[in-house]
Amino acid sequence: MAAGGDGLLARAVARSESVAALEIGRGALAETGRIWRAALGDRPALILADDNTWGAAGAGVEAALETSGVAHRRLILPGRPRVKPVRELGEEIAARIEGEETLLALGSGVLNDLAKYAAFVRDRRYLCVATAASMDGYTSGGSPLSDKGFKITIPCRPPVAVIGDLDVIAAAPPEMAGWGYGDLAGKVPAGADWIVADALGIEPVDDTAWPMVQDRLRGWLAAPEAIAGGQFEAIAGLFEGLALVGLAMEAHGSSRPASGADHQIAHLWEMENLTLAGERVSHGACVAVGCVAALRLYDWLIAQDLGALDVGAAVAARAPAEAVQAEIARAFPDPGVAARAAEETAAKALEPRTLCARLDRLRQVWPELRARLGAQVIPADEMAAMLRRAGAPAAPEEIGITQAKLRETVAAARFLRRRYTVLDLLDEAGLLSAALDACFGEETA
């Protein structure tokens, strides 16, 4: 079915300033040439793929372009090891665009992000043919890439059109749907982080973007076994949910509707180029484990009585700037990465008087906030079981991370972004160390 077959998706596409068409259905690949012509006219196409995605859908894309008389050529990257999401590669791809060409991204997460950035560098639109329900970035306006080792989301423009052929997507390797399920599961703690920021007067919930992600999230996550089993309707629903999340990010103008502490944890592992069995661990797999970690913190937090928080003691115990800088330096040995982390951290630092006022507000709103969080989150153990039933990892060991490394990552993740999350709340309230000890074990020497 096309986007018009689903009212929520159709309204989101109609509202989008960039995505003109979202074609989802069986056999949608055959519409590639027609949609290209409608969106991009006579521009020739540079098809960006890797060996795997070319094998999955390359012949069908070329046939559709030829039928519509769209001139095209190929730029096919190696399929093994998986392509890295680095800004330098995006620059190289941009330099390969000739004349009036624009990109047709044939692939999933990294290829789409690279095409999005390369097209933006060359100030032209692009089209995406999705090959897996593996992540939520197809329709978003940001490209998460590593820049000199530091993972950032670079503001770009979404593709002018996305084609999701469900026959191709359902035939993708089963673990890729598990990665997409993990990325979607991360919206549960990400939503909780936004609720916290809203309650503390830091960043209000967006009444447009919030329902696009959260109103149907439980339904998209409700059949993990069907995702693992490759059941057609379940995979179709997963892909539509991921596409809608991307449109929500575009509508809001940032990744806040979809990304919180769970993604910050995942991004640290991605920055470290985490590998398992010789392959880079996927974004969705990292997010799945980060999601469970963030939910463990929420399980612990919701059990606390923050109405009785000793604000004066919390403010007095706040680490001085020098100590924070030293912790950042330990967490990020690369001086350039440490400098950028310090910049992000400084952007959300508070003077004692302002911190006192925020913590007073936290005490006052805690009964209502606790209730909102309780309604939002899924307990960590329950989520872990859902992820495993979907074929996604849930524990650090499943992606090659020790429990000690997980604790270290969670502790450092708050330095990665200025976005306010549960990690910042716990840190400001003087509770972070206790929460880390309770959830992930005491710090080792």
Q: Residue range 6-16: average pLDDT?
A: 84
Flag whether pLDDT at 322 surpasses 50.
yes
Q: Are 194 and 248 in contact (CB under 8 A)?
A: no
| Nearest Cα to Cα of residue 268 among 253, 249, 289 | 289
Handedness of CA 262, 259, 87, 158 (dihedral sign): positive
Q: Residue range 213-236: average pLDDT?
A: 94
Flag whether pLDDT at 5 surpasses 50.
no
Mean pLDDT, the chain, rounded, equals: 94
User: Could you give the angle at the alpha carbon of 435 between the alpha carbons of 433 and 436, nearest 5°?
Assistant: 65
Position 421 scores a pLDDT of 98
Q: Which two tokens stand for residue 440?
A: 């992930």
CATH of 177-203+256-440, one of 1.10.3470, 3.30.160, 1.20.1090, 2.60.40: 1.20.1090
The CATH fold assigned to 3-172 is: Rossmann fold (3.40.50)
Position 84 scores a pLDDT of 86
Q: Domain segments of the chain: what residues?
A: 3-172, 177-203+256-440
Position 215 scores a pLDDT of 94
> Which residues have C-beta within 8 Å of that of residue 415, sequence separation ≥ 6?
327, 328, 331, 332, 341, 342, 344, 345
N residues, the chain: 445
| Nearest Cα to Cα of residue 244 among 274, 270, 209 | 209
Task: Determine the Cα–Cα distance for residues 214 and 96; give it in Å rounded to an integer.
Answer: 39
> Which residues have C-beta within 8 Å of that of residue 170, sequence separation ≥ 6?
230, 232, 235, 236
Percent of the chain scoring above 90 in pLDDT:
84
Neighbours of 94 (CB within 10 A): 19
pLDDT digits (tens, 9 = 90+) for 391-415: 999 999 999 999 999 999 999 999 9
Q: Which two tokens stand for residue 343?
A: 């910049």
pLDDT digits (tens, 9 = 90+) for 25-83: 999 999 999 999 999 999 999 999 999 999 999 999 999 999 999 999 999 999 888 88
Q: Which two tokens stand for residue 284?
A: 């969705």
Task: Determine the Cα–Cα distance for residues 136 and 258; give it in Å rounded to an integer.
Answer: 8
Flag whether pLDDT at 9 surpasses 90.
no
Residue with tokens 């973007």: 209
Q: Residue range 10-39: average pLDDT?
A: 93
Percent of the chain scoring above 70 in pLDDT:
98
Task: Determine the Cα–Cα distance for residues 228 and 388; give it in Å rounded to an integer.
Answer: 9
Give CA separation, 70 vs 43, 62, 97, 204, in Å: 8, 9, 16, 45
Task: Determine the Cα–Cα distance for residues 5 and 142; give it in Å rounded to an integer.
Answer: 26
Flag whether pLDDT at 167 surpasses 60.
yes
Position 1 scores a pLDDT of 41
DSSP letter, residue 431: -
Handedness of CA 265, 266, 269, 271 (dihedral sign): negative
Flag whether pLDDT at 445 surpasses 70.
no
At 4, the pLDDT band (50, 70, 90 cuts) reads very low
The greatest distance separating any two alpha carbons of the chain, rounded to the nearest whole angstrom, comes to: 71
Lowest pLDDT segment from 152-156, 356-360, 400-404: 152-156
Task: Determine the Cα–Cα distance for residues 374 and 387; give it in Å rounded to an integer.
Answer: 20
